[in-house]
Amino acid sequence: MNVAVCADVGSTYTKAAVLDLDAGALVAAASAPTTVGTDVLHGLDAAVAAATAGLGVRDVPWYVCSSAGGGLRLAVIGYEHLVTAQAGRRVGLSAGANVVHVAAGRLGAAELTALRAARPDVVLLVGGTDGGDAETLTHNATRLAKARWRVPVVLAGNADVRDDLHALLADARVPVTVADNVLPRIGVLAPASARAAIREVFLRHVIGGKKLSRGGRFARLVRAATPD
């Protein structure tokens, strides 16, 4: 039987399903309490063991997503609300994130306070088409650097200033990952690079940083955040 295990590690329960890949059918399913208090692998292994019991399958691929520990909380900061910020929001949602804050325009003291209050795990910093406006993106990156921001940032704005802003943020010890512009031209949404960067940051900083599991096995198993 050509099967795979699909599992969702939630904040309360971990669900596992065994799928017949040839028939496209559900073979079995089970759940177990998520063991955030000890190691989430305990609950994941228990759910998978229950789902595969009696099937005689071994060494099958696992496809795991996770929202344990609150999932992926994403804030989006963009140039203009109806265009760039909303493009960034769509990228975040397609990456399985829970978008908890969207800001547009230049960050001031009040906007930084609101951003901190949203408690994001990751900030998606976007703005300007390639060759277009760079002032707002530069201003916002500078404000984060001066604010001693320590939440991971995915920088996915105007390519003309990407390298300079990456250096600015990195020099200020802001955890920053660079991606292609989510809106390289007006009317053209390019989410793939930013989506991959958000996933990378989620696995490295969120899954690892929340101490959900000892060792690296859980981070290797998780493919993405559970979609909101």
Domains of the chain by residue range: 3-69, 73-194
CATH T-level assignment (fold) for domain 73-194: Rossmann fold (3.40.50)
Q: Across all residues in the chain, what is the average pLDDT?
A: 90
Residue 208: which pLDDT band, with cuts at 50, 70 and 90? Answer: low
Task: Please report, to the nearest 10 degrees, the dihedral formed by the alpha carbons of residues 98, 101, 105, 106 taken in order.
Answer: -120
pTM over the 0.85 mark: no
More confident residue, 77 or 187: 77
Percent of the chain with pLDDT over 90: 62
Q: What angle do CA 59, 63, 64 make, to 5 degrees?
A: 120
Residue 205 has pLDDT above 80, yes or no: no
pLDDT in tens, 154-177: 999 999 999 999 999 999 999 999
CATH number among 3.20.20.450, 3.30.420.300, 3.90.700.10, 3.40.190.10, domain 3-69: 3.30.420.300
